[in-house]
Amino acid sequence: MGKERMKTQRSGRAEGNGVTISYRCFGTGRDVVLIHGFAANSAFWNIRILLTLARHCRVTAYDLRGHGYSSMPATGYTPTHMAADLDMLLDHLGIERAHLVGHSFGGTVALQYGLLHPERVRGITMADSRVRSLQPTQRPRDWANWPEARENLRQMGIEIDADEKEAGLFLLEQLARPQWLEQREKLKGTQLFVPFCRKGGGRRSAERWTRLLNTTSARQDLVRAEGLTPETIATLDLPVLGVYGEKTRLLPSLRGLQELIPDFRSVLVPGRGHFFPLTDPDLFIRVLLDFLAETGWCGDDEPVVARSVSGADRETGPVLQP
C-alpha cells in the first residue's frame, strides 16, 4: 500500500479569488496540506517529507500567492486573503477536511484558516511561526546571539538597526539582493540561513521575493495581524502542535499560543533555528507523524517519536532528541 501511495502524484493549478494557485499532491487517504512561509515555495518541503507522508495520507504542497509558480496579483497578501486562497484550493481538490501544516508565515495562514473554517480542519501543526499579536516586534537586540549575528552581517556588508521591529522581513529583503548570492551559500547550517541558498530555492526565489515586495501590497499586508487577536485565538477548538527550534527568535509566539489555545502541544527542537524543517527534515517528519497518529488522522504504524506529544507537556513541551 505504501509504495502505491508514493506513486500517486498530481500537479496542477486552481483558479479563483483573482489568483492562480500552483500545487502538487502525493499519496492517497486522509489529507494533509503543507503551507510554506515568506519568500519560499512548495519546494521548501523536502521530498523526503512529501514521500514519507504519502505512505500514510494524501499530502498537498502548494505555492502561496505571489510565490513559486502561483500568480502574483497586485493585492491580497494578508492572512485572511491567504486563507481564502486555501479554501478555494481545498474546494478545487475536493478536500472536505485536512490537517494543516505551516512553517513560519504558513503557520499563521493555517491558524487563520482554522479560526474561519474549523469544520474543515482536523488539526494544525505550526512550525516556528510568529503571531504578530503575540509578538508585535522582532528586534535584533532581543536575539540571544545578537552580537555574533551583527558581526556576521557586517562581514557581508549588511547593517541592521538593533531596534528594527521587523528584523526578519528586513533581512529576507537584504539577502535576496543579487550581490549576496555567493554570501548566502555561506549561511547554510547557521542561524542566518535563508531559503535563497541554492538548497532552498535559489536565485529564482530571491528574484521573485524582491519583485513581490516592490510591485505589490505584500510589504504592507504581510505585517498585519488582522483578525488573529489573542481573544480570537483563544476560541480555537482544534488540536494544535507548535514545533519550534531551540535557537529560534520566535519563542514569545510559542509561549503566547501555549497560554491561549486549550488543546495545544509543543515540541522544542534542540540546537535548531527557524528553518529546521528544511535543514533537518527527518527531525520534523518524526514529530509530525507522531502528532498525526495521536490525533487519529493518519498513520497506522507505531508512533515514530519515543516521547509522546501530550497534554501533560503543555507547560514546556517535550524536547525531541535528534
- For the chain, list the strands marked E by DSSP: 9-16, 19-26, 31-35, 58-62, 98-103, 121-127, 240-245, 264-269
Instruction: Report, as an integer, the average pLDDT of 177-193.
Output: 61
pLDDT one-digit tens code per residue, 105-116: 999 999 999 999
pLDDT one-digit tens code per residue, 242-278: 999 998 989 999 999 999 999 999 999 998 888 899 8
pLDDT one-digit tens code per residue, 216-245: 999 999 887 678 999 999 999 999 999 999
Rg of the Cα atoms in the chain: 18
Both 268 and 131 in one domain: the answer is yes
Q: Which residues pair with 26 in a beta bridge?
A: 9, 59
% of the chain residues with pLDDT over 90: 60
Mean pLDDT over the full length of the chain: 85
Whether residue 318 lies inside any domain: the answer is no
Both 88 and 196 in one domain: the answer is no
Both 181 and 309 in one domain: the answer is no
Both 249 and 125 in one domain: the answer is yes
Q: Which domain holds residue 160?
A: 140-221
Both 246 and 114 in one domain: the answer is yes
**pLDDT at 190 exceeding the cut of 80:** no
CA distances for 305 relative to 56, 98, 209, 264, angstroms: 16, 22, 36, 18
Question: Domain of 121: which CATH number?
Answer: 3.40.50.1820
| First vs last C-alpha separation in the chain | 29
Both 162 and 308 in one domain: the answer is no
Among residues 197, 221, 245, the one where a domain terminates is 221
Among residues 193, 221, 249, the one where a domain terminates is 221
Give the residue, 257 or 175, on which the prediction is more confident.
257
Both 129 and 147 in one domain: the answer is no
Among residues 221, 243, 263, the one where a domain terminates is 221
Q: Burial, 202: exposed, middle or buried (Cβ in 10 Å; 0-12, 13-18, 19+)?
A: middle
Whether residue 322 lies inside any domain: the answer is no
Whether residue 199 lies inside any domain: the answer is yes
Both 184 and 63 in one domain: the answer is no
Both 206 and 275 in one domain: the answer is no
β-bridge pairing 9-16 and 121-127? unpaired
**pLDDT at 201 exceeding the cut of 60:** no
* Number of domains composing the chain: 2
Residue 152: pLDDT band by 50, 70, 90 thresholds? confident
Both 98 and 217 in one domain: the answer is no
Cβ–Cβ < 8 Å for 265, 239: yes
Both 73 and 197 in one domain: the answer is no
Both 40 and 105 in one domain: the answer is yes
